[in-house]
Amino acid sequence: MTITHSLKNKGKKTIETEVYDHNFLVIDKQPTGTGYVVKFPVDVTGSGKGFGDIVQIQGKQMTFLRDLASSESIYCNGLQGFSKNPKDYDLKVENIKSGAGVRITCNQPLLKLVFWCSSTTVCPEPYIQIKVKSGQEFSWKISYNYYTFDIQK
Instruction: Map out the domains of the chain as residue ranges.
Output: 2-148
pLDDT in tens, 44-76: 999 999 999 999 999 999 999 999 999 999 999
Q: What is the model's pLDDT at position 152?
A: 73
Average pLDDT score over residue span 90-110:
96
Q: According to the 3-state scheme, what is the secondary structure of 50-99? A: CECCCEEEECCEEEECCCCCCCCEEEEEEEECCCCCHHHCEEEEEECCCC
Q: What is the model's pLDDT at position 22?
A: 86
- Whether the model pTM is above 0.85: yes
Which CATH number applies to 2-148?
2.70.98.10
Distance from the first to the final alpha carbon of the chain:
30
Number of residues that make up the chain = 153
Average pLDDT score over residue span 72-91:
95
